[in-house]
Structure 1
Amino acid sequence: MSSLVYTLVTGASNGIGKAFAEECAARGQNILLVALPEPKLEEVANHLKEKYPQQAFHHLGINLMEKDAPQQILDWCQNHDFTVDILINNAGLGNSGPFTSLPTEFYQGQMQLNMLSLVGLTHLFLPMLLAKPKGYIINVASMAAFYDIPFKGIYSASKKFVYSFSRSLNKELESTSVNITVLCPASVPTNPDVMLREKELGLMARLTSQTPEQVAQYTLDKMYQGKQVVIPGFFPRLYKRIGTIVPYRARLNILAKQFIKNSK
């Protein structure tokens, strides 16, 4: 049994989630790593245990597309006396292509993962976070949260949801010890598919690209400063500012032409 305080990271075996786990560990934190039950998850946990032997690391393999997964994660923490003061809701699923190119079941799973599991974890862990002198939640959205994106419609809509939910709940919590930071990164090359899409999207994607490590370090710095919305990188912030000037229909046409490339 343990009375240590932990940072809980979902999607912790790859990409931004893995980078968050490594960056938090480098800052002296104990980590609970949650991701799909694959060998990669145990490898990341073992690597951190070897690198930081004075800290505690535990992992749970679970599919967050399952409706009862958030409750199972809370039960796991309570059964082992794991107390969480930072919750990083990172797990998510993206895609590009015509809406009709994938079955309904794919989009149901995507919405379950990107939205419902995030809400469930936030709701279930909030009492624990509120009991701490200071608690933090990072909800990972995307630059896609600011746009309607043809050929990426469910993904962008799900990230709009994360953004709106995070901002709204932050207002509710403003007199409490808990602060929510919503992270809206641009292109982050986390796997070969993302790298290929970035190459297809051209110069703008490369200019706005950030490594997972850069995103994690920048976001944690801003989180501790109480920042509510984090957009890592100069060019993504500039791109968002320019995007507010471009008329909606023109913006929609530009995005459609960009993302149709990914579906060919």
Structure 2
Amino acid sequence: MLMNSQIVSPLPIHSVTLFFADMWILLGKICTWIVFLLIGTYLLPLIWLTCFCKPQDLKRKYGATWALVTGASQGIGRAIASKLSSQGLNVVLVAIDDDQLETAKRQLKAEFPRQEFRSVGVDLSVEPHVYMNKIMQATEDIVVQVVFNNAGYLSMGFFRHQDVEKLIGNLECNALSAIRITHHFMKRMIEHGCPGCICFTASAVSFLPSPFASMYGASKALLSHFAASLAVEARDNHIDIVALHPSYTRTHLYANTPKLLILNFLDRFAATPEEVAEVLIHSAGRVILRDTGGYAVITKLISRIVDMGVITYFMMIARKWLPEYRAFSKKA
């Protein structure tokens, strides 16, 4: 005797269609949130800072009398010193001990006769105990509440072709000196119970791999990470920390590098040192990390969307087409 078998009817076609439609809607919402987290959380603060925040006076903000700027004889450092002086701050100028330092001091004094200026001629790439002693002696009778770690230089070429001690000196000047100076003046601010700010001139070059300028990119990345970490610790002491990532800027940084086509191209969109200084002062106490200029924003977005390992892999494949590779291969 045959038993009646139960026949299961397939789902109606419209039910399947609705299911996949709901899945696509859910996937779209998830993607929207991912894009917002990756891009929106980066762009919104940038728009807020650029469009809605007014310029600020650091002397008034922190009740400060003295500021210190490294790399103060030219470029961005010189522009920072001028801007701070215009706000009524006295400035300690730290730079290589040469005619440019004394010229900068003399020009600033002529422009701002009511302000005091102290020059400290040191080489931040060698003998840390020597340059720190000079800086400490020059500031032992004052309270420095505004610090701009701006000094740095660019050394380019194949890593293996460069003298390792010079590479370490590049790291010392670009990053380690900033850490030593920050450690000293942060402790002094806390001992005196003073609020203040410590600023770092990092670089957008650290967002992507920087072959043929490996020490420069690494040192600037170190500054950014150090600033972000230190900002958390310094909060209880009312000390603001900020690191700025400028795009290509018209300074003497590239004076001793090969005349690469990419640098000529970027120079068309380059900011002036005065513009960069204005953005850095504008950012103090408002954000921890700030990018300025089209190159910085675009490369930051790329690094947020595409994995760094993937970017590096494609740069490895295309390495022989990089203008730096061709330029330094000829010298090798």
Structure 1, unaligned runs of 5 or more: none
Give secondary structure in 2 for the equivalent of 1:244: helix
Alignment of 1:1-264 (within 5 A): 5-65=65-125, 66-68=127-129, 69-78=131-140, 81-130=141-190, 131-191=192-252, 193-194=254-255, 200-201=261-262, 205-206=266-267, 209-223=270-284, 225-246=285-306, 247-248=310-311, 249-250=313-314, 257-260=322-325, 263=328, 264=330
Identity %: 28
CA separation in 1, counterparts of 2:144 and 2:178? 15
Which structure has more RCO (C-alpha within 8 Å, separation ≥ 6)?
1
AA aligned opposite 1:51: E
Shift of 1:146: 1.8
- Structure 2's unaligned 5+ residue stretches are 1-63
Kindly state the Cα deviation for residue 133 of structure 1 after the two structures are TM-superposed: 4.0
Q: Which amino acid in structure 1 is aligned with residue 154 of structure 2?
A: G
Distance in 2, Cα, partners of 1:231 & 1:7:
23
Residues 150 and 255 of structure 1 are in contact (CA less than 8 Å); yes or no, is this contact kept in structure 2?
no
Instruction: Say which SS state the counterpart of residue 210 (structure 1) adopts.
Output: coil
Change in CA separation of 1:254 and 1:176 when aligned onto 2, cut-off 3 Å: farther
Q: Calculate the TM-score normalised by the size of structure 1.
A: 0.88
Task: Write the deviation string for residues 78-101 of structure 1: whole angstroms up to 9, x where unpaired.
Answer: 0xx122010111111212211122
Asked whether the 8 Å contact 2:247–2:294 carries over to 1, the reply is no
Q: How many residues align?
A: 258
Contact 1:11-1:17 within 8 A present in 2 as well: yes
- Measured after TM superposition, the shift of residue 239 of structure 1 is 3.2
Q: What do the CA deviations read for 1:18-62 (whole angstroms, capped 9, x no partner)?
A: 111111112221111011110110111111111111111111111
Aligned Cα root-mean-square deviation (Å): 2.4
Q: Distance in 1 between matches of 2:215 and 2:105?
A: 32
- The residue identity in structure 1 corresponding to 2:196 is G
More helix as a share of residues: 2
- Compare 176-185 and 227-236 and name the one that shifted more: 227-236
1:85–1:95: structure 2 CA closer, same or farther, 3 Å change rule? same
Q: Contact 1:199–1:206 at 8 Å: present in 2 too?
A: no
State TM-score, norm by structure 2: 0.71
